[in-house]
Chain A
Amino acid sequence: MTEMLSYDFMQRAFVAGIIIAILASVSGTFVVLRRYSMISETLAHSALVGVAVGLVAGFNPLWMAVVFAIISAWLIEYLRTAFTLYSDAVLAILLSGSLAVAVIIVSLGGAFNNSLFSYLFGSILSVSSEDVATIAIFGSISLGALLLFSKEFYFIAYDEEVAKTSGIKVNLLNFLLVSVVAVIIALSIRVVGSLLIGALMIIPTIAALQFRVGFFKTVIISLVFALFSVVAGMTLSFYFSLPSGATIVLCVLFLFTVSLVANRR
């Protein structure tokens, strides 16, 4: 453990990973309860378009991922409310559409290499100090927004209509939630990868729900599971030279299975 932490890149990866575990699990609770699980998956693919643009055009890929994920989040909310489309179909279209656009941009730009691979599956080697700073700054803002309106998000997740009739600005808060989720996803793809971030958001909450406890305890259990998975996953990634996103997700799945079995009725 001490050997692992003597490397600068591992220190950076751990700081980034721990911030992401907090962000993904707290936002994940609202995402799952709001039935937005598939939205997070779609946003992760849209963030990849930003990464592709960044890699090819020479901008910071992480910043571009944030921008594209937010645009996609707003597009999803707009399409869901403005048209009578099946909302899961809208997500499927945007998900595969984004991936196609990202792959074409990268191919045309000749950047189809390890760098894209690391954004797909996550890589602890690639976390720069600049990334850590970006993750810390945007992460704090996102977490602040989530905590500030947590009671409203919780009420909306439980009963959107009653929340609306009690005077809560439901449409505005829905936009805010998907925007915050978009930012968190974009920040996470460095460490977990765009194909796997959805798992880190959703599975800790689903595992925590198996314990059938109140809201606050559910958030805490989900947070502990995500932190454990990120730390354990990155350690495994370091010692066995595996992509960090995949090892993190396997750790989350392990905890989920244990939760499911332990709470079986």
Chain B
Amino acid sequence: MKFIVPIFDIKNLSFVVKGQTILSNISLEIFRSEYIAIIGPNGGGKTTLIRMLLGLEKPTSGEVKIYGKKLSNFKEWYKIGYVGQRASHVDASFPATVLDIVKMGRTSQRSIFGAFSELDNQLVRDAMLKMDILDLKDKMIGTLSGGQRQRVMIARALASKPEILILDEPNTGVDALSQKNFYALLRELNKKEGITIVFITHDIGVIADDIARLFTINQKAVVCNNPKQALSCEEMSELYGIEAHLLHVHKHEH
């Protein structure tokens, strides 16, 4: 078998904060062009895991390697597009047009003394075209709907020409039709452009056909290699802590 360096190589990762274990001994690999969905209960550590992949949190123990490098030695951050949980919430008075926001995606790659180059402008335009927001470019971000804002944030991520797109439930507060279009777009980005997608979501049923693997995170990680059967996976009940939940209810009855 050919040796392939995973994009993300997570080894024995643990995160403990104030004596509470958020993540315990997680080891995962994410390979090029995979579409990975991450599910798990709220407070189970999904977002913490993503934040550690992005270097926003330091693990208590264990290691994350990205393209075979330690996070501290990794410089090519433009290869990663990140859309966080609060993507569709914005400060309504922030002085930014859609174009201003999408251009942010090129900021880290522009030459230090230069304005944005022709290439930068072209990539910004391409990203807006792909997200179908070109006609909104001069609109203020605060005046857009949740679905439109979500598309703007993804366009910003795409403007840096990422190889990996990391999305942390960016679809809260977005209407059903926009969500459907959004899932179709993710599928296209993954299949046609080979962009690796790591997607934290609750809507696992809708995207089960698109994804390659499913990670369930609840302090520990379990990998489902056949996501279509994911919902009947035995580990699922364990991970979602059904037993713990029952005990909790029981306690309240007394």
Contacts and interface: CB of A to CB of B under 8 A. Distances in A.
Contacts, number: 78
A33 to B, nearest CB: 7
B183 interface: no
Nearest to A216: B100
Given A165-B80, A212-B140, A155 B104 contact: yes
Nearest to B162: A166
A168 B95 contact: no
B77 A167 contact: yes
A112 interface: no
Interface of A: 33, 148, 151-152, 154-155, 158-159, 161-168, 208-209, 212-215, 217-218
Contacts of A161: 56, 82, 84
B104 A212 contact: no
30 contacts: A33-B94, A148-B112, A151-B104, A152-B107, A158-B94, A158-B96, A159-B84, A161-B84, A162-B82, A162-B104, A162-B156, A163-B104, A163-B107, A164-B56, A165-B54, A165-B77, A166-B77, A166-B104, A166-B107, A167-B78, A168-B108, A212-B93, A213-B95, A213-B140, A214-B95, A214-B96, A214-B97, A215-B96, A215-B97, A217-B95
Nearest to B86: A159
A209 B93 contact: yes
Contacts of A152: 107-108
For the complex of A and B, the 6 pairs showing the least CB-CB separation, nearest first, are A167-B77, A218-B95, A214-B97, A167-B108, A155-B104, A166-B108
A215 B94 CA distance: 8
Contact of B95 (A151, A163, A165, A209): A209
Contact of B101 (A158, A163, A217): A158
A33 B95 contact: yes
**Residue among B83, B96, B138 with most chain A CB within 10 A:** B96
Interface in B36-73: 54-56
A155 B96 contact: no
A161 B104 CA distance: 13
Interface of B: 54-56, 75-78, 80, 82-84, 93-97, 99-101, 103-105, 107-108, 110, 112-113, 138, 140, 142, 156, 160
Contacts of A168: 107-108
Contacts of B95: 33, 208-209, 212-215, 217-218
Contact of B84 (A154, A162, A214): A162
Contact of B105 (A154, A166, A209, A218): A166
Contacts of B140: 212-214
B193 to A, nearest CB: 19
Contacts of B96: 158, 214-215
A9 to B, nearest CB: 38
A172 to B, nearest CB: 13
Nearest to B112: A148
Contacts of B77: 165-167
A142 B107 CA distance: 21
Nearest to B90: A158
Contacts of A208: 95
B101 A148 contact: no
Contacts of B142: 212
Nearest to A157: B94
B100 A214 contact: yes
Nearest to A214: B97
**Residue among A209, A212, A218 with most chain B CB within 10 A:** A212
A166 B104 CA distance: 9
Given A164-B55, A214-B99, 14 more contacts: A151-B110, A154-B100, A154-B104, A158-B94, A162-B83, A162-B84, A163-B107, A163-B108, A164-B54, A164-B56, A166-B107, A212-B142, A214-B97, A218-B95
A138 to B, nearest CB: 21
**Residue among B54, B56, B76, B107 with most chain A CB within 10 A:** B107
Nearest to A219: B95
A155 B107 contact: yes
